[in-house]
Amino acid sequence: MMTACSHIAGIRTVTPSARGCEECLKIGSPWVHLRLCRSCGHVGCCDDSPNRHATAHFHETGHPVIRSAQPGEDWFWCYVDEVAFLAS
């Protein structure tokens, strides 16, 4: 899939920082799906989750690209360009 996103070139392989959403684990909150920041390895919850920590992480850090951390899901999302693309 071709995209207009220039940030994909800057991402790297990261090690997930936690087995679940870091912030939700601290406060004991549930989440729906997990998202992995491809700049630093932060694990946050998706926008269907009550606390939306993945999006909050983008606003805090400016890290543009996440990928789904769900098994079998292989897509990325750029918050800056608001485009989704598949891993190649």
Q: Closest CB to Zn ion among 59 and 73?
A: 59
Q: Closest CB to Zn ion among 51 and 70?
A: 51
Place of tokens 């079998």: 72
Element (H, E) at 70: none
Q: How far is it, in rounded angstroms, from Cα 21 to Cα 38?
A: 15
- The reply on whether position 3 binds Zn ion by CB under 5 A is no
Could you tell me how many helices (H) and strands (E) the chain has, helices first? 2, 5
- The reply on whether position 35 binds Zn ion by CB under 5 A is no
Binding stretches for Zn ion (CB under 5 A): 5, 7, 21, 23-24, 31, 37, 39-40, 42, 45, 51, 53, 61, 63, 78, 80-81
